[in-house]
A = this chain, B = another copy of it.
Amino acid sequence: MCEKLNDRFLKACRRQPVDMTPVWFMRQAGRYLPEYRVIREKHDIISICKNSELCAKISSLPVEILGVDAAIVFADIMLPLEGMNVRFEIKEGIGPVINEPIRSLQSVNALRHLDPKADVPFVMSAIQQTRKRLQGRAALIGFCGAPFTLASYLIEGRPTRDFKNTKALMYRDPETWDLLMKKLASAMTSYLEAQIDAGADAVQLFDSWVGCLNSQDYDQYVLPYSRMIFKELEKTNVPLIHFGTGTSNLLENMKQAGGDVFGVDWRIPIDLAWQRLGHDVAIQGNLDPTVLLANFNLIQSRAADILKRANGMPGHIFNLGHGMLPETQPANVIELVKYVHDSTRKQRSE
């Protein structure tokens, strides 16, 4: 009665040959799924995250509904910051809003050390319960925000387009920046270690907004801190995914920071990104999530283009370039997963 273990995703992370290209999607367990919306009507996001059973149910939905090869634990990158003494709200249609943005040495000093097992025990128990629920049908991914992306939320206080307060602090007060980034790097290291201990098969570092920097800034103000996390995590032998958007000019630099798999967005052709990164790492991506709002002909032609560029080389994980949009039709996503699986299986047996 035991289903065959699905190790397609983990094999691809390690650039081993697979029977077909593995697929998962960022925000695959989100508002576009009616099954999720039913739950959200009764619970806010933070309450769901703190309810491990509900959280495991939601995290597993995409495996059951879409047939993806990996689940990602349902959580928000801001969650562990609560344990560091940051008070925030997730505002509908806006995102995380912090009432007292962190812009001084004093407020960085006030950030507490994170003790993941005491401060965010519900994430670890959600991971344990999701694993049980999945029964090996898909890998389970843990995650956290990267220091730069978390710092940008803490400093701006809300989503931004120009990151001016973040960059101003970084340029004007490098000591405060250094302390903030070190605290975040240390907290995220222990947070990911705890997720791995709890059973995460792989972890993804979301540096979603790092593409607002040039490579000079990245090397000076970001790389050392992301590197701290990867350096510690490398000891676990769990695949490490390093993700960002708009990173066309940062790929070589991000590789220096670390990671086994690099998540890239649609702005760069995936073959060019992989060539720039080198084929000694795996690559994840890179369909524009807005393409999923089109009819299936267009979705299929864009997916086909990505698969053609990835050229069946071991180490490609099919994903979006950023999170699924709430307006996405689940039927399109189901068909896309089937298309990626079927067309890559066919390709290898030819």
Contact = CB atoms under 8 A, between A and B. Distances in A.
Contact of A293 (B172, B216, B293): B172
Nearest to A169: B293
Given A172-B293, A293-B164, A325-B162, A214 B249 contact: no
Contacts of A216: 302, 305
Contacts of A291: 167, 171
Interface in A238-280: 246, 248-249, 266-269
Interface in A202-259: 211-217, 246, 248-249
A327 B269 CA distance: 37
Nearest to A95: B161
A215 B322 CA distance: 17
A290 B214 contact: no
Nearest to A212: B267
B162 A159 contact: no
A46 interface: no
Contacts of A325: 162, 164
Nearest to A248: B248
A334 interface: no
Given A164-B290, A248-B249, A327-B164, A269 B171 contact: no
Interface residues of A, number: 36
A163 interface: yes
Nearest to A328: B164
Interface string A138-164: 000000000000000000000101111
Interface in A171-215: 171-172, 211-215
A69 interface: no
Given A161-B159, A163-B290, A325-B162, A267 B214 contact: yes
Contacts of A168: 290, 293-294, 327
Interface in A288-317: 288-291, 293-295, 298, 302, 305
Of A162, A214, A293, chain B has the most CB atoms within 10 Å of the CB of A214
A289 B325 CA distance: 31
A267 to B, nearest CB: 5
Nearest to A286: B214
Given A248-B249, A293-B164, A325-B164, A214 B171 contact: no
Contacts of A249: 248, 267-269
Given A161-B161, A249-B268, A269-B215, A290 B167 contact: yes
Given A248-B248, A248-B249, A295-B172, A288 B161 contact: no
A295 B170 CA distance: 12
Contact of A266 (B214, B248, B269): B214
Contacts of A298: 171
A266 B215 CA distance: 9
Smallest CB-CB A-B distances: 5 pairs: A171-B294, A167-B290, A168-B293, A248-B248, A214-B266
25 contacts: A159-B161, A161-B161, A162-B290, A162-B322, A163-B290, A164-B289, A164-B290, A164-B325, A168-B290, A168-B327, A171-B290, A171-B291, A171-B294, A172-B294, A172-B295, A211-B246, A214-B267, A214-B268, A214-B269, A214-B288, A216-B305, A246-B246, A248-B248, A248-B267, A249-B269
